[in-house]
Amino acid sequence: MIRIKKLYKFMLQTFLPQFLMTFFICMFILMMQFLWKYIEDLVGKGLSMDVLGELFFYASLTMVPLALPLAILLASLMTFGNLGEHFELTAMKSSGVSLMTVMKPIAVIIVLIAIGAFFFQNDVLPQSNVKMWTLLFSARQKSPTLDIPEGAIYSQIPGYNILVKHKDAERDMMYDMLIYDVSKISGYPRVVTADSGRLSFTEDKLHLVLDLHHGEWYEDMVQSGANKLGSDLYRRETFRAKQILIPYDATFNRMDDETMRQQYVGKNITELRQTIDSVQSRVDSTGQIIAADLRQLSVVGTPTRTYVYDKKGRHSVLTKEVLMNKPIDLNAKLGELTATARFQVVDKALAKALSARQECEFRGYMINDDLMVIRRHQIEMQKKFTLSLACLIFFFIGAPLGAIIRKGGLGTPIVISVLLFIVYYVIDTMGYKLARDGHWWVWQGIWLSSAVLLPLGLFLTHKAVNDSAVFNPDAYLNFFRRITGMHQVRKLEVKEVIINEVEPAEAIEKLQALKQNCEQFLERYNGRQSFITYWTAGYDKKLLGALQAQVESVVEYMGNSREKLVINKTMDFPIIRQLLSYKPTGNKALGYALAALLPLSLPLYLVGTRHQKNLKNEIKITARVCDELTEMMKDSLPEAESPTKTE
């Protein structure tokens, strides 16, 4: 008996309900999109509920290749986002359980889903496509139901336009009717007016019966031919009751499935391969025929082959090659002919060239059509495998991404999932069109989306396993500040528990030492560096690093004070940073080379010296804060240690 670990049970119980929920949500959204797309073909046709239900069922099966990867991405993102948000993932890691171990049971389920997706694509989806498109085309060909409005011309009956001013729904009667019979291609339409009328169908629903009461019939009697009696003859008939029979098929006729089974969407891998091989053989044979015909064409009027007869019968042999030892003056040859003969030669040459061109274009169109059929079938065969890989890729994107961002629920995960899926769909559509039109090889276009997203999944998995702060905004903000030289704000708070108390004498000593080093740095770099000095020397980063460490040490020590005023003043210390613009390079030769890259080096020099000026201002502020804190510390000294005041 196989025993499943409690951790694996917990992960499966967490993931599977969310996966089923997101899968049906995605299916519902895609079905709404399908209904919106084909609503004009379905509404007003009087289709029964069983036909609509069957159509929606098969349509939902065709939506699985889109809904399944999106559901896996969203479910994995929500699952690991909830675990991270509630610190359950942190507890697992602190217990020695790695992220890969946590992902293992869900990964096994995803692999099983990917395997099932392949068999679904190969066996179920072709049959679903056949049924869905057969029903959809059948619904398109069905005549619409009759619902003649009041006060508007109704033209859904083929060959007739009907205007009804009033309707009585209870008695199923129409009043003040005006009918235009435009079923004849030529001539004026017949016009029928009636006080009232009723529409009904014959029992076989193949004809429409129009019962009219108290009306008139107007018809133009213009006759065609040489023996016509006149052009002003017309017919007028007054009737009390009249019945018009109009052909109108109101039944739902289902098309034969065999037509759609011959299309690429209705075939499995074996049938696709057979079709590709047969069409490719036809293309090859057509190419061989074209090549043979081209070889048999005459060159400058000289046939390339002649027929000989021997004991074996009639067969063709190559003629002796015509050698052209010197160029032929075509103008001179044409000049020897008469004007009529020259015209005939040119006209015959143009006719032959045009005929050859049209023949080649016709055969080229035939080959292009066959190549398009081959590409369509190859694309469909490649798609049998891409869905399975897409399921795995989206899991290894969603699971680590959820562990990194640590946001559950339906807010952030849905936004991220939709954005990622849009990127996937756009890339997949672009690759599909490039492959379909023959600009790329089929395998390149169909596998393009997988090739783009697979490295992203591997990268996110690596970062999540190593607990890297990929989406930590502070890390990117600090990097941006280092690049642009933006100032950072120091934040300190009064500590509730203090281990090392601030001694005023020691604090003064530290502050005076920091002030002295600041003054030495400012004295060393008292002016603006020249262009060459900046690129070859810059500021001493070791000296700056030591000053930075000393500032942080003083801030850390003064942060232990119990006085809020001291803490507030300590926050005035600027954050000394190590920017690349302070010293572009540590190699003199490289510095000269960079300086020579004018005009690019000049704006960089201006930006760098601006950053250096800001640095010196920060160091000046540091020295001033040292003086202010020193005065505050002197007030805290005992009487014996405080300096004597001069009267």
* Collapsed DSSP state (helix, strand, coil) of residue 322: coil
Residue 226, pLDDT above cutoff 50: no
Residue 642 has pLDDT above 60, yes or no: no
Does position 376 have pLDDT exceeding 70, yes or no? yes
Q: What Cα–Cα distance (Å) separates residue 118 from each residue in 139, 187, 261, 387, 597?
A: 31, 61, 20, 7, 57
Average confidence score pLDDT of the chain: 82
- Cα angle 42, 47, 53 (rounded to 5 degrees) comes to 85
Please report the pLDDT score of residue 1 as a whole number.
47
Between 625 and 479, the more confident residue is: 625
What average pLDDT does this structure show over 377-395?
Answer: 92
Print the SS3 string covering 459-517.
HHHHHHHCCCCCCCHHHHHHHHHHHHCCCCCCCCCCCCCCCCCCCHHHHHHHHHHHHHH
Q: How far is it, in rounded angstroms, from Cα 384 to Cα 215?
A: 65
Q: Kindly indicate the confidence band of residue 305, based on its pLDDT and cuts at 50, 70 and 90.
A: low
Length of the chain: 647
| Strand blocks (E) in 341-383 | none
Q: Residue 636: pLDDT above 90?
A: no
Average pLDDT over residues 209-226: 75
Give the pLDDT score at 334.
Answer: 78
Q: In this structure, what DSSP letter does residue 254 have?
A: P
pTM above 0.85, yes or no: no
How far apart CA 195 and CA 212 sit, in angstroms, is 8
Query: What is the model's pLDDT at position 249?
Result: 65
pLDDT score of 388:
92
Residues β-bridged to residue 305: 318
* Per-residue pLDDT, 314: 65
What is the per-residue pLDDT for 645?
42
Share above pLDDT 70 across residues of the chain, in percent, rounded to a whole number: 85
Q: Kindly report, residue by residue over 235-278, the tens digit of the pLDDT.
A: 888 999 988 888 876 666 677 777 778 888 888 999 999 999 99
End-to-end CA distance of the chain: 97
pLDDT band (50, 70, 90) for residue 109? very high
Q: What is the pairing mode between strands 160-168 and 153-154?
A: antiparallel
Q: Is the per-residue pLDDT at 430 higher than 90?
A: yes
| CA–CA distance, 223 with 602 (Å, rounded to integer) | 93
DSSP-assigned letter for residue 216: E
At residue 290, the pLDDT reads: 74
Write down the pLDDT at residue 451: 92
At position 408, the amino acid (one-letter code) is: G
Q: CA nearest 518: which of 539, 541, 543? A: 543
Please name every residue paired with 190 in a beta bridge, in sequence order, or none if there are none.
181
Write out 3-71 in H/E/C secondary structure: CCCHHHHHHHHHHHHHHHHHHHHHHHHHHHHHHHHCHHHHCCCCCCHHHHHHHHHHHHHHCHHHHHHHH
Q: Taking residues 464-481, report their average pLDDT.
A: 64
Q: What is the pLDDT of residue 225?
A: 44
Beta bridge partners of 227: none
pLDDT of res. 321: 64
pLDDT per position as a tens digit, 318-371: 666 666 677 777 788 777 888 888 888 888 888 888 887 887 788 777 788 888
Name which of 192-196, 220-224, 310-314 the model is least confident about: 220-224
Cα gap 406→183, rounded to integer Å: 69
Letter for the amino acid at 360?
A: C
Please give the Cα distance from 60 to 269 (Å, whole number): 22
The residue-averaged pLDDT of 57-80 equals 91
> How confident is the model at residue 647, as a pLDDT?
35
Question: 261-274 burial by CB neighbour count: b if 16+ within 10 A, else e?
Answer: beebbbbbbebbee
Q: Which two tokens stand for residue 258?
A: 């065999």
Kindly tell me if the per-residue pLDDT of 310 is higher than 80. no
**Domain ranges in the chain?**
1-141+261-324+360-471, 153-247, 479-635
Residue with the larger pLDDT of the pair 475 and 275: 275
What is the band of 498 on the pLDDT scale with cuts at 50, 70, 90?
Answer: confident
